[in-house]
Every structure is written in C-alpha cells, then in structure tokens.
Structure 1
Amino acid sequence: MKTELLLALEQLEKEKGLSLDMLFDVIEDAMVKAYKNNFGATHNVEVELNRETGEISVYSVRIVVEEVIDDATQISLEEAKEVNPDFEPGDVLKEKVTPKDFGRIAAQSAKQVVVQKIREAERGVIYEEFSSRESEIVNGVIHRVSKGIVYITLGRTEAIMPTNEQIPDESYIQGERIKSVITEVKNSTKGPQIYVSRTHPGLVKRLFELEVPEIYDGEVEIKNISREPGSRTKIAVYAQNPDLDPVGACVGPKGQRVQSIVDELQGEKIDIIEWNENPAILISNALSPSKVMRVEVDADDNSALVVVPDYQLSLAIGKEGQNARLAAKLTGWKIDIKSETQYIDYLKEIGEYEEVYGD
C-alpha cells in the first residue's frame, strides 16, 4: 500500500510537472542530512525511499578493508566476515540502521524539500512563460506604488515598472487596470523579475496591432515609430496593396481606432503618416500636420532642406522643436526647415534664386 508521501509526490508530478525521479533524489539527499543532524552520525549513510511503497530505510555504508584507517567509512575484513563470510576487501557493507522515530523526521524533511521544489518549479514556469513574451503587451492591475516604482499584478506574478518607464504626469492608482509592454525578464535568486514600460515605442506598436486588424494580419506594416511619451507619437505605416489605404486603416471609421489608442495613452497625440521609399516624400509626410512646399535631399550628408509656407513654419517645427525632432527620428534624416521667405533670401544669398524660381 502506498504511503501518503508517495501519493502526494505522484500528485505533484501530475499538477506541477515535477519529475518523480528528481523528487525522490532530492528527498533522499535531504533525509541523509536530517539523519546526521538529528542522530549525530559521522559514518556514511544512505537513505532509500521505496518507489513502490514509500517505505523509508537508512543504511550505514562502509567499505571492507584489511586495515581500518577511517571508522566512519571503513570496516575491517574480520568484522565484515562476521556478517557475511563471503566478503572480500573492496566490497561495500550496507547495514540497515533506521531509527524508530525517523519516519516523522523524514516526513518533515520531505515536506520542506517538496515546498522548495514547488516554489522553484513555479518560478521556472513563470520565467519560461514571460521570457518568451518580451515585447508583448500585458494587461495587469496596479498592486502598489512604492518609492515611485509601480508594481503590477500579472496573474500569478508581479511586474515592475521603474520611474523612467512611466509616462510623465500619468497617475498610477492602486486597483486600476493598466496596459504595458514587457521590456525585460530576468531570472534572479528571488525568482523571475519582469520589467514593463509605458514609454517604450513598442507599446504603441502593440496597441495598433490590437486595434487595427490590417496590421495584425500583415496587410499594413508599421515601418517605424518615434515617440515622446505623454506628448506626441509619429508612426509610419505602409501597405503593399495599392488599393489599401494604410493611414485610413489605422485611423478607422470616424477615427475610432486611433482614438482608442489615444485614450489608452491618456491623450497622447498620434500622427499617422504613410511610408514612402522616396525620402523627399517620406520627409514631407513625416512633417504632418504641416504642409510642405519643397524638399531638397542631400544623400551624401543624409540631410534634407524643407521649405514650408511662411504661416506654416511654427507648425512644421512644433512646440520646442518637437514636430521636426520626431520627423527626423522617424525618417532617419537630418531636417532643416525654412519658411518660403527664408528660402528665397537663402537662394538670393547663394545666387540661385533665378535658377529655382525662373524670375
């Protein structure tokens, strides 16, 4: 008949995916330590946990020698022959020395080991689950905020959002649901540590994948994203199919799709522009919502001179240069913006006005 311990171990194998052989091995090792701690044994011992019945046995293990040097590990040939006349030097003598009350001690040791192994196994499962989900979006509940760090409950575990991964001026209230993107998963001695972000451009990308079926299906591709969290994001999208409007797909009917993302990001403005292999067209699109009159590209310097109507200059540059800065980051080009008047003055200065305007 199987013991309660054996039945419990078999249940753990099914529920937690723990190897039964591994459990037997670690429990036997723990019982050896428990035996020596409780009974002051200095000699070599082995503990066997019967795989069929769960019976626990302790054995003293000594090597048969002609001359004993270490009583803890050796037994003389003369003594060994009293047990079995067939013993020869080099043979191993195992004698059963199980104490009467060892079962209780063994059970306590087994419980401690099993609890530890369950904890390690669960940590391992959590690590494997989340390490394979880096860059994915997760929906959790704010558990607490301590010293500026936000701790978010994700099912059986907790994620950490450091201060530098939080959107400026965004409030984080205990109990509220929140979306974030997994940026890193570390395996530490305390278990897996999952780091998430609300500022990472990947959050915007994942939100668009959730809201726009054409992106999720691969019909619309996100080429690049530039972001200043909490303020403004520019996203460049492209569709291989000429009959599909990638910007319109992202905006959605009556702007519902992009508005859902803006709401999730607490009002962060989002400019959706169409990607183009022609850098002049791409740069012009990237400076939206400003209108662009002319783009002169210098491929050698990876720079571009952009001309906008006089009344559009401040819009093209943006507050504190934000629009131009985001456009440059989105396109990968250095952008110099001039108003039409500034451009005319510049052409006259270098003597190319008539060449451009033909006057």
Structure 2
Amino acid sequence: MNNELFDALELLEKEKGIKVEDVLNAIKNAIGVAVRKYYTVGEDNVEVELDMEEKKFKVCVIKDVVDELTDSTTQIHIDEAQQKNKRAKVGTRLSIKLDTKQIGRIAALSGKNLIHTAISDAVKAKQYEQYQNKLHEVVNAKVVKVEPKTGNATVFFDKTETILFKNEQIPNEILVEGDNIKVYVNDVVSTEKRCTLKISRTHKDLVKRLFEMEVPEIFDGTVEVKSISREAGSRTKIAVWSKDENVDPIGACIGKNFSRVSNIVNELNGEKIDIVQYNDIPEKFIAQALSPSDVVSVEILNKEEKTCRVIVPDSQLSLAIGNKGQNAKLAAKLTGYKIDIRPESGPIEPKEEPKEEIAE
C-alpha cells in the first residue's frame, strides 16, 4: 500500500498541479478515521505520520497502560505493554505501531475510499481556485466537438473541457471543430463530484471584456464603460466616458480606420455595435442612446420611476424605434429609462408603432 499511495500522490502533483502538502492532512485524517473505525477507538487513540521523502508512513494505536484491564480498545495491560516496550509503566500511554499487513487490511476494508475521497476533494478545491481566477474574464477556447442534435459545443482551454450550450452561443453562428473562439466565464459551479464552468458568448460583459482587450484607454482606466445593452447576434449599444477631456472615448473605441471595433465585430460574428457618449444629464444620455436616430427633444416625466418622452423628426421615427422595436429597447436598457417615442408632428398610434419600451 505504501508505494501505491505515494506513487498516486506524486502523479497527482505532476498531472493536476496539486501539491502533496495540500492533501497530506486530508489523507492522514482519512487513514485515522479508518483505523479508529476498525479498532473502535477514539480520536486521541490514533496517530498517523507520513514521510514523503522516505516514502514511508507510520500508523500507531495509542493505549493507556493499566494494571486492571476494563476496555481493551483503549487500554493495554501492563504485562502486555512491557512485552512491547520494557519502559512501559502504569498510568502512561503506549504507542503501538501497526505493521504493513494490518494497515493494508484496514485500508482494504474501509480506508481506500476515504483516501480517494480526500484526494478528490483536494483536486476539486484546486480546480475551484483555478476557476475562480477566470470568473468574469474572457478566455480563448478551441471547439473540439459540436453535438449535432443539441448544437452544444465542447470547448477546450487551459487543460479544461467544458460545454458551451446552444442558448449561450451567438444566434446564427455556426461553430465547427477546430474553431478558436472567445468565451466569457460567467459562473463557477461546485458540486459534490466536480467543479464546472458556465461560459457564454451571449453575455453582455463579453463585449465589455473584448473592448478592454482591444482598447488600451479602457484597460488603463482613461476611458470607462458606463453601461452596455445587447441583443446577441444582432446589436449592442455601449456607453463610454473619458476621464481625460483630451481623449475622445468614442474615437478610442473605434480606433484608426475602425480597426479596434472591427476586431470585436468580427469576433462577435458580425454583430453591430453602437458606441455612444455617456452623459450624467439623463436627457442628453437618452438622446445619445437612441443613435443613429436624430432626437428633437427629451422630457423627463418622472425621475423616480425613470420615465421620459422623446420627440423625433417624423422621418426618423422608424429609425428611432428600430426593427421590431430593437433600437428603442436597447436604448431603454442602456439608460435605465422607460422611453415613450413620439413623432414631431403628433402622437404615435398604438396599433401602428409601439409607444413605449421598458428597460429590463
């Protein structure tokens, strides 16, 4: 058993990156539990020592030396004690070393599962720690398999395989084996058996992280992303603001010859991106959010309920609302305001065009 145990620990360190020191206590506890169960003794009656350098471990059962035996599981008679150690005296405790056969028998009966559990727990804890470092970040992944029936894709990154579910993929995007894609890690789930990552290509923060990667001014904090609204696969609106009045936040995000934003659009399978100027004044921010439509005026109806009325030129009405109300919906999500869009010449008939888009 000695060689099997220590070989397994060395392999664990080599393949999983789990330091032996991290699991030694857990394994010692597991062996102790098995021995206590086998000998029906208390916690203070078992001692376990492991020596990785010598590849040896020692397990001892500790008993009280007595001249009148009342409990053989925790006591040893003085005569028997002196046969094992001539210095044994009544009132002292004697450490009785178990031989390899005894340990092997105990492990075979109840210890191996506990040891395996201890190692599995250590692997899971290490994995959870590694996954936590990736939480809310974008990672480069390679598509290794696409399930034809469900459309779920298995992706691989950093020696980890995980599932990119169909509903987390960009609509109309066709993934094939060998594709290199960027995914957003939006959660780490730990169960009794393992840790798993929840990844997404539809999460709005994927866009934010991509801008941080492409735009140095965002990465260093000069330009700040204030809010994002997204309909994955179709359109994203992102509101940006600059701490430095000499830096144009929109221009920084677009890049020379549209190079920066084009890289992000390509990564998102052609998704359109509207970059708008954030403003602390709600009326101005709402007008910007309805881009590319022109806005005549914005009236805040109720600050607490965050409702407003927007007047646009008659010719810009369809553009302001967008296809199936998309532009208005995204503007509402971006600003947090319920937006009632009306043409300059008069009110919108409810049956013809939606009057209000509600921020979610």
Return the TM-score normalized by structure 2: 0.77
Contact 1:13 1:20 in 2 (8 A): no
Q: Which sits farther off after the overlay, 71-80 or 216-225?
A: 71-80
Matched ranges for 1:1-359 at <5 A: 16=17, 18=19, 20=21, 23=24, 26=27, 30=31, 33=34, 49=50, 53-55=54-56, 59=60, 61-80=62-81, 87-96=88-97, 98=99, 120-146=121-147, 147-300=150-303, 301-342=305-346
1:284 Cα deviation from its structure 2 partner: 1.3
| Distance in structure 2 (CA, Å) of the matches to 1:285 and 1:103 | 74
Q: 2:353 aligns to what?
A: none
1:234 Cα deviation from its structure 2 partner: 0.7
Identity of aligned residues (%): 45
Which amino acid counterpart does residue 188 of structure 1 have in structure 2?
T
State the structure with more CA Rg: 1
Contact 2:59 2:98 in 1 (8 A): yes
Contact 1:27 1:113 in 2 (8 A): no
SS of aligned partner of 2:240: strand
Which amino acid counterpart does residue 139 of structure 2 have in structure 1?
V
Contact 1:56 1:103 in 2 (8 A): no
1:343 Cα deviation from its structure 2 partner: 5.4
1:124 Cα deviation from its structure 2 partner: 2.8
Q: Which sits farther off after the overlay, 328-337 or 185-194?
A: 185-194
Distance 1:217 1:69, change over 3 A: same
1:143 Cα deviation from its structure 2 partner: 2.9
| Distance in structure 2 (CA, Å) of the matches to 1:165 and 1:128 | 24
Contact 2:34 2:106 in 1 (8 A): no
| Distance in structure 2 (CA, Å) of the matches to 1:340 and 1:292 | 10
1:60 Cα deviation from its structure 2 partner: 5.5
Encode CA deviations 1:324-346: one digit per residue, 9 max, x unaligned: 1111111112211112221599x
1:241 Cα deviation from its structure 2 partner: 2.4
Distance 1:114 1:177, change over 3 A: farther
1:36 Cα deviation from its structure 2 partner: 9.3
Contact 1:168 1:229 in 2 (8 A): yes
Q: Which sits farther off after the overlay, 199-208 or 67-76?
A: 67-76
Q: Which runs of 5+ in 2 are unaligned?
A: 350-360
Contact 1:61 1:92 in 2 (8 A): yes
Contact 2:18 2:126 in 1 (8 A): no
| Distance in structure 2 (CA, Å) of the matches to 1:314 and 1:218 | 36
Q: Which sits farther off after the overlay, 105-114 or 50-59?
A: 105-114
Q: Which runs of 5+ in 1 are unaligned?
A: 346-359
Which amino acid counterpart does residue 274 of structure 1 have in structure 2?
Q
How many residues get paired? Answer: 339
| Distance in structure 2 (CA, Å) of the matches to 1:263 and 1:52 | 54
Q: 2:352 aligns to what?
A: none
SS of aligned partner of 1:130: helix
Contact 1:142 1:174 in 2 (8 A): yes
| Distance in structure 1 (CA, Å) of the matches to 2:68 and 2:58 | 29
Encode CA deviations 1:194-213: one digit per residue, 9 max, x unaligned: 11111111000011111111
1:151 Cα deviation from its structure 2 partner: 2.7
Which amino acid counterpart does residue 171 of structure 2 have in structure 1?
P
Contact 1:32 1:47 in 2 (8 A): no
Contact 2:24 2:50 in 1 (8 A): no
SS of aligned partner of 1:71: coil
Encode CA deviations 1:290-343: one digit per residue, 9 max, x unaligned: 111222222445222222221211111101111111111111122111122215
SS of aligned partner of 1:194: strand
Distance 1:182 1:6, change over 3 A: closer
| Distance in structure 2 (CA, Å) of the matches to 1:95 and 1:118 | 27
